[in-house]
Homo-oligomer: A and B are copies of this chain.
C-alpha cells in the first residue's frame, strides 16, 4: 500500500506523471501501451464506426426484440475475435453474453463484466435521437468518418455511449490490437455482458446458477460507471445496493375542480409531500427510525483509503452549480458510504401550460433506495412499510378499489422493484493488491482508489462461494449524463480504456508470485 499512497500523494489530478517502481519489469507494459496507442491512432475511424453501430440499437431491457438484437450483435463480434461465446439464458430475461478466451499454460483467470442494456429514454429531452449517435466537438457536430483522427475531447452522444456499451467496445478493440501486434494474452479471459443491469439485474444470479463455471475466476473486474472526476482511472472496492419503489397515494375517485372542492377533497399531492418529508429531510438525513442501525462501520484499511481518495468536491460544486451540498459539510466520498433515499421522480396533475385547476385523483413518487453493507433489501423494505403505516396509511400492493378507498382515509400503493445488497471486497486480499499493482502498470501511472462508489452494481453476485475479489474498473467520463438525456462518451476515455484493457490482459499474469497457481 505504501507505494501507491506515495504516488497518489504527489500526483496532480488529471496528469499521469509517474512511472511506478514495482516487483517486476515495467518495460513490457509501457512498450505495449505505446503500440496499442499506435494501433488505435491508425484505426480510429473503424473503431468509432463499429461502436456507432452498436449504439444505434435501442436497448431497454423490457423490449425483448431490441435487447436480443444487441446480444446477437455482441455475440457475432466476439466470435469474430475468436472468443468462444455462450448465450446464458432463462425464460423471460435477456441473455447474458458470456465469452471465454483461453490461453495456453497456467495463467490467472480474470473476468470482465459490463452490461449492454440501457436506461429508459425520454427522447423529447434529447438534443439528438438517443439511438441516432452523433459526434460533437467544440459545440459542432462532426460527420462520422469525415476525418481519420478525431479530436479526443469530442463526444459521442447516444444512450449507453458511456453506460455501458463503451467497455464492451473497448475490450473488443483491445483484442484486435493485441492480435495485430501478435501480443499473447497473459490471462485466461472471461467476458460477461449482462442485458438487464438497468432493471437492477433481477435475473443475473439465477442465470449464472444455470452455468456455475462462468463465475470461476481469480478476480472479477466490473466495468461500469465513470472514472474519477479528475479524469484519472480509478478502481472501487465496493458499491451501494439498491431497491426501487413506486408509491402512489390517492384522493377522490375522479378529478375535481379545485375551486369547487379545494379545502375539502383530499389533495393527494399534499398527502404525498408530507409522507416524503416524514421519510427524509432536505439535507439527506433519513428520518425513518432505526434505518441506520445495520450500517457496518469502515475497517481501518477502508478508512485509510477514504482518507487518501482525492477530494474533488470544490470543483464539482462549481461545475454543477451547487452552492451547498446535502450532508452538513461531509464530502461526496463520505456521503456515498451512507444509505440514501433518492426520490427520482414525482408526478401528479400538470404544471406549466398544461396546468389545469383540478385536484388530482392520485399522486406518484418513484424512489431508488441506496443500501450500504450490511443492509438487506428485505429489511429495508420492511422498515419503510412499517414507517408508512405509522404515518396513518393503509398499505396496498395493488390499485385500491372504491370500497377500499371509501374505507381508508389514506392509502399508499407500494410497488417494489427488484433490489440487491451492497458489496465491498477485501482490500487486504493479496489478489486485490496484485491486481491493483498490475493496473497501475497498465495505465502507467497512479490509479485512484475508492472504498465504495455510490452506484449500484451487482458485484455481490461475482464474489461466489470462494469470496473472489470483485473490483470496480470503470472507463466512462464522469460528466457523461449517465441515466439522463444527452448521455455521452468522451473519446479520450475510449482510447484510454483500449490501452488499459489491452495492456492489462497481456501483462496481468506476469507476476507469478502474486497469483494463485492453477
Chain A residues proximal to chain B, CB less than 8 Å? 62, 119-120, 122, 225-226, 239-240, 242, 244, 246, 251-267, 269-274, 276-277, 280-282, 284, 317-327, 330, 332, 335-336, 338, 340, 342-360, 363-366, 368, 370, 402, 405-409, 453-456, 478-479, 481-485
B345 contacts A258, C-beta separation under 8 Å: no
Report the separation of the CA atoms of residues A445 and B360 in the bound assembly, to the nearest whole angstrom. 35
Closest-CB distance, A318 to chain B (whole angstroms): 7
B484 contacts A321, C-beta separation under 8 Å: no
Report the separation of the CA atoms of residues A454 and B479 in the bound assembly, to the nearest whole angstrom. 50
A346 contacts B351, C-beta separation under 8 Å: yes
| Choice from B258, B262, B322, B454 contacting A260 with Cβ under 8 Å | B454
A225 contacts B349, C-beta separation under 8 Å: no
Residues of B within 8 A of A355 (CB): 120, 244, 246, 344-345, 366
| Choice from B253, B336, B350 contacting A320 with Cβ under 8 Å | B253
Q: A260-B226, A484-B356 are in contact. Are A265 and B326 (CB under 8 A)?
A: yes
| Choice from B284, B317, B319, B483 contacting A356 with Cβ under 8 Å | B483
Q: How often does this chain occur in the complex, in copies?
A: 2
Q: A345-B350, A349-B346 are in contact. Are A255 and B483 (CB under 8 A)?
A: yes
Q: List 20 A-B contacts (CB under 8 A).
A: A240-B259, A252-B321, A254-B320, A254-B479, A255-B485, A256-B484, A260-B478, A265-B326, A267-B326, A270-B282, A273-B273, A277-B277, A321-B405, A322-B405, A343-B349, A345-B350, A345-B354, A346-B351, A346-B363, A357-B483
A246 contacts B351, C-beta separation under 8 Å: yes
Q: A255-B485, A262-B336 are in contact. Are A323 and B356 (CB under 8 A)?
A: no
B344 contacts A346, C-beta separation under 8 Å: no
Closest-CB distance, A136 to chain B (whole angstroms): 15
Which of A351, A365, A409 has the most chain B CB within a 10 Å cutoff?
A351
Given contacts A263-B284, A271-B282, A342-B357, 10 further A-B contacts (CB under 8 A): A258-B370, A260-B454, A262-B342, A263-B338, A265-B326, A269-B343, A321-B406, A323-B409, A346-B347, A347-B350
